[in-house]
C-alpha cells in the first residue's frame, strides 16, 4: 500500500518543480499551499534531501529548492524512498512461501498487476506532475 506520506512527498517535489529552476520556497509555504502538516513537510524534506533531490538554506531568505532534475525523478523512486518496496499484495514479497504458492491462481494475476503498476509509476516523472498541475491552473 502506498502511504499518505509517500503521496505528500510526491506533492512536495511536484510543487518545487512547478517553480522556475533554482527557486527557493519555504517549508511553511509548501505546507500552507498544499495543505500538508508542517511537521510532515519538514520530515519529508529530510528524506528528499537525503535522496539528493532537494537542498535547504537556513535564515531569513532561506528555503528549499530542487537539486535533482525533476524529469529524472519518477513516482516509483519517491514512493520506494518513503515507503520501501511497493507491493500490490504481501504474497509477492513474502520470504516464506505460502502453502498454495505452486497452485495459487491469484499469484500470476498479482504479479502481472504489480508489473503494470510499477511500469506506470516509473513512467510518470515529477516534472510530468508539475506540468500537469500548471495545465490545471
**CATH number (domain holding residue 43):** 1.10.10.10
Residues of the chain with pLDDT under 50: 136-137
Q: How far is CA 4 from CA 39, 55, 88, in A?
A: 14, 22, 16
Number of domains in the chain: 1
Residue 12 lies in a domain: yes
The set of cell numbers assigned to 82 is 518513503
The pLDDT assigned to 137 comes to 42
The residue range of the domain holding 40 is 4-84+125-136
The pLDDT assigned to 108 comes to 79
Residue 103 lies in a domain: no
The pLDDT assigned to 97 comes to 58
Residue 99 lies in a domain: no
The pLDDT assigned to 38 comes to 97
The pLDDT assigned to 111 comes to 84
Helix (H) or strand (E) holding 25: none
Amino acid at each position: 500500500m502506498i502511504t499518505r506520506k509517500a503521496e505528500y512527498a510526491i506533492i512536495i517535489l511536484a510543487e518545487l518543480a512547478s517553480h522556475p529552476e533554482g527557486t527557493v520556497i519555504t517549508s511553511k509555504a509548501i505546507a500552507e499551499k498544499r495543505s500538508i502538516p508542517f511537521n510532515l513537510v519538514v520530515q519529508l524534506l529530510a528524506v528528499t534531501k537525503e535522496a539528493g533531490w532537494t537542498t535547504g538554506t537556513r535564515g531569513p531568505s532561506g528555503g528549499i529548492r530542487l537539486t535533482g532534475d525533476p524529469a529524472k525523478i519518477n513516482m516509483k523512486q519517491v514512493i520506494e524512498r518513503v515507503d520501501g518496496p511497493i507491493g500490490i499484495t504481501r504474497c509477492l514479497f513474502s520470504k516464506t512461501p505460502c502453502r498454495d504458492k505452486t497452485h495459487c491462481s491469484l499469484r500470476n494475476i498479482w504479479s502481472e498487476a504489480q508489473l503494470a503498476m510499477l511500469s506506470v509509476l516509473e513512467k510518470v516523472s515529477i516534472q510530468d506532475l508539475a506540468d500537469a498541475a500548471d495545465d490545471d491552473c
